[in-house]
Structure 1
Amino acid sequence: MKIDLHLHTNFSDGEKSVEELIHFITSKKIDIFSITDHDTIASLDLARIKANKYNKIFIPGVEISTYYKGGEVHILDYFVDSRNGLLLSFLEERFSKRIKRMKETIHILKKMGFDINYNDVVKTSPGPYIGRPNIAKALVQKGYISKPAEAFTDELIGNNGKAYVPPDDCSPNDAIDIILKTGGIPVLAHPGIYFSDGNWKLKEEDIKKFVNAGLKGLEVYHSKHTKEDFEYYREIARKYDLIITVGSDYHYSDNPVSTEMPIDDEVFSEVWKCIKPLVF
Structure 2
Amino acid sequence: MNTQQGYVDLHTHTTASDGMQPPAENVRLAKAAGLTAVAITDHDTVAGIEEAIREGERIGITVVPGVEISTVLEGKDIHILGYYINYQDPSLLERLAELRATRDRRNDMMIAKLQELGIEITMEEVIANLGRELAPDETVGRPHIADTLVIKGYVNNMAEAFDRYLGSSGAAYVNPPRITPTTAADWIREAGGTPVIAHPGLYGDDELVENIIQDARVAGVEVYHSDHGEAEEVRYLQLAEKYRLIITAGSDFHGARQGVVFHGELGGRCISTDVLTALMQAKS
TM over 0.5: yes
Picking from 23, 32, 35, the partner of 1:30 is: 35
What displacement does 1:204 show?
Answer: 4.9
What displacement does 1:275 show?
Answer: 2.6
**Is the Cα contact below 8 Å between 2:110 and 2:172 reproduced in 1?**
yes
CA distance in 1, matches of 2:233, 2:191: 30
**Is the Cα contact below 8 Å between 2:44 and 2:139 reproduced in 1?**
no
**Is the Cα contact below 8 Å between 1:65 and 1:167 reproduced in 2?**
no
Give the aligned residue type for 2:264: P
Computed over aligned residues only, the root mean square deviation of the Cα atoms, in angstroms, reads: 1.8
Picking from 57, 60, 63, the partner of 1:58 is: 63
Q: Which residue does 1:275 correspond to in 2?
A: 276
- Quick check: 1:130 aligned with 2:133? no
Picking from 169, 193, 205, the partner of 1:184 is: 193
Structure 2 counterpart SS, 1:224: coil
Picking from 229, 253, 256, the partner of 2:264 is: 256
Cα distance change on mapping 1:167 and 1:30 into 2, 3 Å: farther
Structure 1 length-normalised TM: 0.89
Picking from 6, 9, 19, the partner of 1:4 is: 9
Q: Which runs of 5+ in 1 are unaligned?
A: 195-199
What displacement does 1:259 show?
Answer: 4.1
Give the aligned residue type for 1:257: E
CA distance in 2, matches of 1:179, 1:99: 22
Q: Which residue does 2:3 correspond to in 1?
A: none
CA distance in 1, matches of 2:31, 2:61: 9
**Correspondence list, 1:235-254, <5 A:** 235-253=238-256, 254=261
CA distance in 1, matches of 2:278, 2:78: 27
Q: Which runs of 5+ in 2 are unaligned?
A: 1-5
Cα distance change on mapping 1:205 and 1:43 into 2, 3 Å: closer
Q: Which residue does 2:178 correspond to in 1?
A: 169
**Is the Cα contact below 8 Å between 1:66 and 1:167 reproduced in 2?**
no
Number of corresponding residues: 266
- Quick check: 1:211 aligned with 2:219? no
Give the aligned residue type for 1:142: K
What is the percent sequence identity of the aligned residues? 36
CA distance in 2, matches of 1:10, 1:205: 31
**Is the Cα contact below 8 Å between 1:102 and 1:131 reproduced in 2?**
yes
